[in-house]
Amino acid sequence: MTMHKTLGMNVEAMIEDLRTLVEIESPSRDVNALTASAKAVAAVIEGRLGGQALIVESEAGPHVHWSAGGEPKVLILGHHDTVFPLGTLARRPFKVEDGRATGPGVFDMLGGLVQAVHGVAALDDRSGVEILVTADEEVGSRSSRALLEERAIACGAVLVLEGAAEGGALKTGRKGCGTFRVTITGRASHAGLEPAAGVNALVEASYQVLDIAALGRPDVGTTVTPTVASAGTLDNVVPAEASVSVDVRVESADEKERIETAFAALTPHLDEARIAVRGAIRRPPMPESASAELFAVAERLLPGIEGKAVGGGSDGNFTAALGVPTLDGLGAVGGGAHADHEYLLVDAMAERANLVAGLVRTIQNA
């Protein structure tokens, strides 16, 4: 595949910028680490694009916002928080070997940020371009959602630099996703002397897991997956507390409403057991219609590029739900997100940076 009107990209410079970002660890919720990471992101942006990258403080950590000025036309959206705890870098340092860059966060999604910056840097005209790099995408975007939605509406088009789908495909649709936590309260008693005097929260949790799992409808793309459970204190005590965490993915707003209503309606099977439910599907579905216009541009720029709907969520879910044209998966080509074998394909970096540049240029001239 070849890009029309390709621009020169310095891959060695991209790798050095990637090294800079990866070697400043940035686990979600660690505000001190994220503060150092935000400063590094801002320095890379300013060094390549000029101007000032603003540090936007939040309780989750600093976000970074850069604007070229002029009428806003396109928002390049990413995040600098990663899922890896401090110390991961010592065990898995950044390196480039056999055409692959490895290290915590190279694919999700520091590589995409670097490619975007270099893609924009290659343009003679950067007017109307904004870059927003948030600090809490991996943990729900609660502190950044209002800002990213505001800038998405102002710009009118969003390019999301999350890692590509399998085979380098762009992400043209995403499921809505959320987590629910179901807490069961029973009553403790001696498991040998008077088990009937207790209300067994573990038994109630078992009933609830079966009820919850039955809410899934794979035929319409809805998955409801109990993932974590805990109960009990000692092996001779009827457990008084239990909890179940549940991952939910949906493709439609109707299914979002059905699932949220069903969780609210959960009722106990055992007399005197009590149930409390927290959570929601906080990332709405990103329909493929939201990406259709921009994906058509990408196909013209890079003939043969594929688009795929995927199960994972991103901040593109929020912008698409606002009706703002959104194209996702424009970042690194590689794999292993959130895993120790995470990697980025170096040979794809220039092509992806060129794709970002071509999309920006097309949006500017629309």
| Active-site amino acid positions | 81, 137
CB atoms within 10 A of CB 350: 21
Q: How far apart are CA 297 and CA 74, in angstroms?
A: 14
List the end-to-end C-alpha distance of the chain, in Å, as a whole number. 25
Phi/psi at 179 (5° precision): -125, 135
Q: How far apart are CA 190 and CA 196, in angstroms?
A: 9
Q: How far apart are CA 97 and CA 100, in angstroms?
A: 5
Q: How far is CA 171 from CA 14, 132, 262, 305, 312, in A?
A: 23, 19, 29, 11, 10
Q: How far apart are CA 245 and CA 183, in angstroms?
A: 9
Q: How far apart are CA 40 and CA 194, in angstroms?
A: 61
Q: How far is CA 267 from CA 233, 264, 277, in A?
A: 24, 9, 10
> Token pair for residue 267?
């009722």
Q: How far apart are CA 109 and CA 42, in angstroms?
A: 16
Contacts of 237 (CB under 8 A, 6+ apart): 188, 189, 190, 191
Phi/psi at 320 (5° precision): -65, -35
H-helix segments, 10-102: 11-22, 31-49, 88-91
